[in-house]
Chains A and B, each alone.
Chain A
Amino acid sequence: MIIDHPLLGPRDAAEFVYLGDAALIDRPDWQAADAMEQFHSYGYLRDNPAGQHQELWYHEQGDRSWLVVTRNTLTHEITAVELARDVARKRGRGK
Chain B
Amino acid sequence: MLAARVLGVLGVLFVLSIIVFAMMYLAPGDIVKNLLGNRPANPDVVAAVREQYRLDDPVVVQYLTWLKGFVTGDFGESIRLQVPVAQAIGDRIAITAALCGLAFLVSVLVAVPLGVRSAVKAGGWVDRTGNALSILGLSAPTFAVGLVLLYLFAYYVPILPVYGGGDGGLDTLRHLVLPAITLALGLGAIIVKLTRTAMLRELESDYVTFARSRGLGERMVRRIALRNAAIPIVTGASLVLTFLVGGTVLAETTYALPGIGTLLQDSVLFKDIAVVQSLTLLVAVVIAVIALLADLAYLLLDPRVRRQMGAAS
Chains A and B bind each other: no
